[in-house]
């Protein structure tokens, strides 16, 4: 017998209701989207109980919450999964509300997670807010902006971002190197200018965000937790996001017949969120998965995303599931009816 529980109570399902879940093999999803468990639409009547549990979605004046409602799916009294119920469309009866119906579909696992974040832009993450520094007159050992940047460059201060030089011919006019540096003795120092010959452009200081820190900010935003041995891998801890937005730490005074002059701001500031790509959070996670050959295992109950390497599948003990499932076909799970 099929049962769907919302807030500790079961929906009143129509007699004979069946739920078909479509499941895609996660190892073969190498495109621009991830698909988990999604049901075909099914209808429920607008009974007082259903209306209350579904946040009165059957009323004409009610705005549908696209986030859906938390739900637990049962089959013959045994819990099958946890996920969300999404309202596809209500059929409203203007005179008698209980004569209307609501079309729903159920999403679980990865589908549920991606429904939660589908409209979230990566730059909406809280990356620590605006980081404000005083000006220390280009002192490499000062307590202000220039001194702190030099400390990060040399590894004396461990921060959420790093600096290193990147050759980029298309960055800006007269600027071909971001984070231009020089070596003085055993120490690395920033150049004042990006173009040492003309000295018309101040050094383009661009912070590169550490990937482990970004994943922590995603955890804080979504309420999910990342797990996996990859998170403690030495190479993983070195991954950063190269971007092309320089910190606005100065302005240039253009002078005819003389050298241009750098005027630093008294309180240089920057927000790491501005240095993230302007894409959706879901698109970025999918790109990350495809770039590094990962696959995500979603635990909706505990809100855990386990990161695993696809290569681990190739070196593990082989098990033959041919008789049970073909990885090339979409699977359909038909749960018991309400009769």
| DSSP labels, 135-188 | --TT-TT-SSHHHHHHHHHTTSS--SEE---EEEEEEETTEEEES-EEEETTEE
For 252-266, give the DSSP string. Answer: EE--TTS--EEEE-S
For residue 27, the 8-state DSSP code is G
* Domain, as residue range, for 263: 123-278
- Co-location of 262 and 219 in the same domain: yes
Q: How confident is the model over 240-264, as a mean pLDDT?
A: 87
Choose among 122, 124, 123: nearest CA to 283. Answer: 122
Same domain as 335, residue 304: yes
Predicted TM-score (pTM) of the model is 0.70
The whole-angstrom separation of Cα 66 and Cα 60 is 16
Based on the domain organization, do 47 and 132 belong to the same domain? Answer: no
- Average of pLDDT values for 35-40? 72
Neighbours of 52 (CB within 10 A): 12
* Cβ–Cβ under 8 Å, residues 187 and 151: no
Q: Do 43 and 151 have their domain in common?
A: no
Count up the domains in the chain and report the number: 2
The structure tokens listed for 326 are: 């073909």
My answer on whether 130 and 238 are in the same domain is yes
223-242 pLDDT per residue, tens: 889 999 999 999 999 999 99
Residues 147 and 190 in one domain: yes
Same domain flag for 152 and 60: no
Radius of gyration of the chain from its Cα atoms, rounded to whole angstroms: 27
Summarize pLDDT for 144-203 with one digit per residue, the tens: 999 999 999 999 988 999 999 998 877 766 678 899 999 999 999 999 987 656 677 889
Let me know whether 147 and 230 are in one domain: yes
pLDDT, averaged across the chain: 83
Nearest to 50 by CA among 93, 88, 7: 7
Same domain, 267 and 230: yes
Which residues contact residue 70 at a Cβ distance below 8 angstroms, ignoring those fewer than 6 apart?
Answer: 6, 7, 82, 83, 84
Same domain, 13 and 88: yes
Can you tell me the distance from the alpha carbon of 56 to that of 198, in angstroms, rounded to the nearest whole number?
A: 68
Check whether residue 139 and residue 186 sit in a common domain: yes
187 shares a domain with 239: yes
133 pLDDT band, cuts 50/70/90, is: very high
Question: If you search the block for the tokens 């969120």, which residue do you land on?
Answer: 273
């Amino acid at each position: 017998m099929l049962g769907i529980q919302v807030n500790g109570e079961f929906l009143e399902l129509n007699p004979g209701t069946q739920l078909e879940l479509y499941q895609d093999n996660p190892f073969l999803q190498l495109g621009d989207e991830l698909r988990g468990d999604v049901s075909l639409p099914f209808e429920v009547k607008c009974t007082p109980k259903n209306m209350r549990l579904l946040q009165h979605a059957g009323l004409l004046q009610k705005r549908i919450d696209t986030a859906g409602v938390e739900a637990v799916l049962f089959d013959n009294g045994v819990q099958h999964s946890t996920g969300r119920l999404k309202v596809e469309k209500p059929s409203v009866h203007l005179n008698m509300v209980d004569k209307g119906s609501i079309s729903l579909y159920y999403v679980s696992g990865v589908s549920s997670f991606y429904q939660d974040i589908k409209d979230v832009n990566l730059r909406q993450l809280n990356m620590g807010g605006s980081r404000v520094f005083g000006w220390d007159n280009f002192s490499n050992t000062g307590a202000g902006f220039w001194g702190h940047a030099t400390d990060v460059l040399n590894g004396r201060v461990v921060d959420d971002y790093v600096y290193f030089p990147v050759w980029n011919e298309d960055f800006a006019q007269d600027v071909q190197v971001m984070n231009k540096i020089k070596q003085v003795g055993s120490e690395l120092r920033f150049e004042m200018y990006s173009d040492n010959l003309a000295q018309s452009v101040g050094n383009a200081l661009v912070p590169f965000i550490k990937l482990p820190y970004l994943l922590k900010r995603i955890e804080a935003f979504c309420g999910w937790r990342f797990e996996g041995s990859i998170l403690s891998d030495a190479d993983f801890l070195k991954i950063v996001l190269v971007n092309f937005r320089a910190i606005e730490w100065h302005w240039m005074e253009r002078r005819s017949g003389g050298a241009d002059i750098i005027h630093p701001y008294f309180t240089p500031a920057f927000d790491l969120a501005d240095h993230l790509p302007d894409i959706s959070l879901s698109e970025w996670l999918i790109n990350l998965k495809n770039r590094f050959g990962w696959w995500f295992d979603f635990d909706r109950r505990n809100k855990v995303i386990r990161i695993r390497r696809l290569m681990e599948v190739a070196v593990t003990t082989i098990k033959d599931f041919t008789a049970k499932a073909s990885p090339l076909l979409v699977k359909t799970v038909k749960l018991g009816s309400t009769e």
